[in-house]
A and B are shown apart, each in its own frame.
Chain A
Amino acid sequence: MNNTDLQVILDKYPDAQRDSLIPILQDIQEVQGYLSRENVIEVGKHLKLPASKIYGVATFYNQFTFLPQGEYHVQVCRGTACHVKGSAAVLDAIERELNIKAGQTTKDKLFSLEVVACIGACGLAPVISVNGEFHAGVNGDKVRKILKNYRKNHQEVKITNE
Chain B
Amino acid sequence: MIKIEVDNKTIEANQGEMILDALERSGITVPTLCHMKDKFPSGACRMCMVELDGANGLIPSCAFPVREGMKLKTHSPRVVRARKTIIELLLADHPDDCLYCVRNGNCELQTLSEEYGVRQRRFSGKKHAYNVDNSSMSIIRDPDKCILCGRCVRVCEETQGVAALDFIGRGCDTVVGTAFNEGLNVSSCVNCGQCIMVCPTGALRENSSLKEVIDALNDPEMTVVVQHAPAVSVTLAEEFNMKAGSDICGLMTAALRNLGFDRVFDTGFSADLTIMEEASELAHRIKTGGVLPMMTSCSPGWIKYVEQYYPDFIDNLSTCKSPQQMMGAVIKSYFAEKQGIDPRKIFSVSVMPCTAKKFEADRAEMSDDGITDVDAVLTTRELARLIRLYGIDINKLEPETADTPFGKRSSAGKLFAATGGVMEAAARTAHYLLTGKELADLKIKPLRGMKGIKEAQLKIGDLEVKIAVVSGLENAKNLLEEIKAGRKEFHFIEVMTCPGGCINGGGQPYNTDMDAVRERMQALYNIDRDAPLRVSHKNSDIQSLYDDYLKEPLSEKSHHLLHTHYHKRDTII
B-contacting residues of A (Cβ < 8 Å)?
Answer: 37, 40-41, 44, 50-56, 59-61, 66
Taking A41-B572, A44-B573 as contacts, is the C-beta distance between A56 and B166 under 8 angstroms?
yes
Taking A50-B188, A52-B187, A59-B168 as contacts, is the C-beta distance between A66 and B179 under 8 angstroms?
no
* A52 with B169: CB separation less than 8 A: no
* B180 CB-CB contact with A under 8 Å: yes
* B164 CB-CB contact with A under 8 Å: yes
* A54 with B169: CB separation less than 8 A: no
Closest to A35 in B: B180
* B180 with A51: CB separation less than 8 A: yes
* B178 CB-CB contact with A under 8 Å: yes
27 A-B residue contacts at CB 8 Å? A37-B180, A40-B179, A40-B180, A41-B573, A44-B573, A50-B163, A50-B164, A50-B166, A50-B179, A50-B188, A51-B179, A51-B188, A52-B163, A52-B166, A52-B178, A52-B188, A54-B179, A55-B168, A55-B181, A56-B166, A56-B168, A59-B168, A59-B169, A59-B170, A60-B167, A60-B169, A66-B180
Point out which of A41, A59, A61 has the most chain B C-beta atoms below 10 A from its C-beta.
Answer: A59
Tell me which residues across on chain B come within 8 A of A55, comparing CB atoms: 166, 168, 179-181
Residues of B in contact (CB 8 Å), total 18
A-contacting residues, B284-343, CB 8 Å: none
* B165 CB-CB contact with A under 8 Å: yes
Give Cα distance in the complex from A53 to B167, angstroms. Answer: 8
Give Cα distance in the complex from A50 to B474, angstroms. Answer: 14
Tell me which residues across on chain B come within 8 A of A56, comparing CB atoms: 166-168
Interface of A is mostly: helix
A-contacting residues of B (Cβ < 8 Å)?
Answer: 157, 162-170, 178-181, 187-188, 572-573
Beyond the given A50-B164, A52-B179, A61-B170, please list 20 additional residue pairs across the A-B interface where CB-CB is below 8 A.
Answer: A37-B180, A40-B179, A41-B572, A41-B573, A44-B573, A50-B157, A50-B163, A50-B179, A50-B188, A51-B188, A51-B573, A52-B163, A52-B164, A52-B187, A52-B188, A53-B163, A53-B166, A55-B168, A56-B168, A66-B180
Give Cα distance in the complex from A66 to B179, angstroms. Answer: 11
Point out which of B162, B163, B166, B178 has the most chain A C-beta atoms below 10 A from its C-beta.
Answer: B166
Give Cα distance in the complex from A66 to B182, angstroms. Answer: 13
Give Cα distance in the complex from A98 to B404, angstroms. Answer: 68
Tell me which residues across on chain A come within 8 A of B180, comparing CB atoms: 37, 40, 51, 55, 66
Give Cα distance in the complex from A55 to B162, angstroms. Answer: 15
Closest to A58 in B: B168
Tell me which residues across on chain B come within 8 A of A66, comparing CB atoms: 180
Give Cα distance in the complex from A41 to B180, angstroms. Answer: 11
Closest to B173 in A: A59
Tell me which residues across on chain B come within 8 A of A44, comparing CB atoms: 573
Give Cα distance in the complex from A37 to B186, angstroms. Answer: 13
Within the complex, the shortest CB–CB distance from B515 to chain A, in Å, comes to 31
* B168 with A50: CB separation less than 8 A: no
Closest to B157 in A: A50
* B573 with A50: CB separation less than 8 A: yes
